[in-house]
Chain A
Amino acid sequence: ETGVTQTPRHLVMGMTNKKSLKCEQHLGHNAMYWYKQSAKKPLELMFVYSLEERVENNSVPSRFSPECPNSSHLFLHLHTLQPEDSALYLCASSQDLVDTGELFFGEGSRLTVL
């Protein structure tokens, strides 16, 4: 079983749909992250959670809504998205936020907004 699991792997949605991306980590880590990866752009950090508390929100539009019910699970709720939101969404975890070491990534959720 991989350390960080993301579902679904692929998602196609219309601009009026509501969907959610799920991330689960089995590593006992305290910090979890959402990244957005678009073509020809660096990875964009979207949200950071530490011990279930959001510690960073990098000016992400409100149509993206994160939820961290416990230290093992992270969700990204999607609502009224735009075609430019089509991207690979990557979840990651690390042991802690302080003296950040290795990030463990999931395989990503490929989102296409029609």
Chain B
Amino acid sequence: SQQGEEDPQALSIQEGENATMNCSYKTSINNLQWYRQNSGRGLVHLILIRSNEREKHSGRLRVTLDTSKKSSSLLITASRAADTASYFCATVNRDDKIIFGKGTRLHILP
């Protein structure tokens, strides 16, 4: 069954702007991960945030986690054309099952 649900399904922004994607889930988790997928390629791990963490940074990426609302957000600052891709959240629950959402398609306009 699906766990993570990304929002929005698709997002188009101008290069240089910030992009924010959200993920909501239903059951308790051990950690939540964000992945990126370029068209027709494999997924690439971006960042992992554990259930006892609230915020994490990696370069231009900022991830927040609110376990009380069962939601997470991924912020990409100062977007670039190369950021055009699909972004997926994946939740790892107490049974160590990993479940992916449907993803957000991000398009950076020149």
Binding site for B on A (CB under 8 A): 4, 6, 35, 40-43, 45, 88, 90, 92, 97-108, 110
Which of B40, B42, B97 is A105 in contact with, Cβ under 8 Å?
Answer: B42
Q: How many A-B residue pairs have CB under 8 A?
A: 53
Asked whether any CB of chain A lies closer than 8 Å to the CB of B2, the reply is yes
Give B74-104 as 1s and 0s: 1 = Cβ < 8 Å from A's Cβ atoms: 0000000000000010101000111111110
A40 to B98, CA, bound (A): 19
Asked whether any CB of chain A lies closer than 8 Å to the CB of B45, the reply is yes
Asked whether any CB of chain A lies closer than 8 Å to the CB of B30, the reply is yes
Chain A CB count within 10 A is highest, among B44, B88, B98, for: B98
Residues of A within 8 A of B103 (CB): 42
**When the two chains form their complex, are residues B31 and A97 in contact, meaning their CB atoms are under 8 A apart?**
no
**When the two chains form their complex, are residues A105 and B43 in contact, meaning their CB atoms are under 8 A apart?**
yes
A43 to B45, CA, bound (A): 15
